[in-house]
Amino acid sequence: MTKNFNLIGVLSLIFAMFIWGSSFIALKSAMNDLAPFTVIFIRMLAASLCFVYFIKSFLKYDFSKKDIKYILLLALFEPCLYFIFEAKALQLTSASQAGMIASLMPLITAMAAGYFLKEIITRKLILGSALAMLGVISLSVNASTSVSAPNPLLGNFLELLAMSCAAGYTIVAKYLTHKFSALFITAIQAFIGCIFFFPFFLFEYFTTPMVFSVEALSWTIYLGVVVTLGGYGLYNFALTKVDASKTAVFVNLIPVFTLILAFLILGEKLTSFELTASAVILAGVILSQMPPLKRKKKA
């Protein structure tokens, strides 16, 4: 099989997107009883404990100053800034709308790759980006306020910032996969994230009333073990098999999985307008990924 299509990489991405789609549901459910940063800290702690066994093997790597710089940049993008934006976003908007905003991540990644990696940006990419952004703006401005989504406009904007961090993470992770394993990259995210969010956890623990219910803790452990370990592990593994620009395309599956799970688990309702706006977003994303037409050679 060519590098353009790797079955193992593709299957890893599909499963990773399903797991990530469920993360919106899990976060929304866990934050019913727990403060957002408490959820994230316990999530990172649970994931870190899963990697303790592998620490000795990680120490065998030869780290250069450049490697450390990129590792810290990776962790800054995700989980640090990404989870700050996403946690706050899910307090303000619905899980299904947050999943729709996630469909913009491939476009943001392509733009970043064009700027930093000097990849060619086609007219279809620009047109698709504009179409997708139109759908996002419409979805955000016309979003209805509810108990579960008190400020969808701000929440959707914060989710967009989270997707920008995810795009930066993808580009940096692709660079690191040339030297480090997917297991190490996933582990270092968990370790740094655990340290980073510990002060936030302490602040919320002493200032915010919380209920450490079995349901909330179960969702949080699910986020740490399944979503962080499984989702990020599969995604980082796929980056060793598939080009970064191609992996980003699979993020389009997240809103599909999120919509289904939000309907089945949270009982969220979908309006015809939300479906139409979502279709516009997905159409823009699909258009942006279409290859340019080959020009016929002159005789």
pLDDT reported for residue 73: 96
User: Could you give the percent of the chain with pLDDT greater than 70?
Assistant: 84
Please list, in sequence order, all residues whose beta carbon lies within 8 angstroms of the beta carbon of residue 113, skipping any fewer than 6 positions away. 119, 171, 244, 245
CA dihedral 37, 162, 71, 115 (to 10 degrees): -170
pLDDT reported for residue 299: 46
How many beta carbons lie within 10 A of that of residue 197, not counting itself? 26
Residue 102: which pLDDT band, with cuts at 50, 70 and 90?
confident
Residue 62 has pLDDT above 50, yes or no: yes
Mean model confidence pLDDT for the chain: 83
Question: In Å, what is the CA distance from 253 to each residue of 71, 101, 209, 259?
Answer: 27, 12, 36, 10
pTM: 0.78
277: which 2 tokens? 């706006």
Span of 101-115, 129-143, 271-285 with lowest mean pLDDT: 129-143
Q: Provide mean pLDDT across the span 230-249.
A: 82
> Distance between CA 191 and CA 52 in Å, rounded?
10
Residue 234: which pLDDT band, with cuts at 50, 70 and 90?
very high
Positive or negative torsion for Cα 159, 228, 255, 250:
positive
Which is more confident, 159 or 115? 159
Q: How far is C-alpha 36 from the chain's CA centre?
A: 17
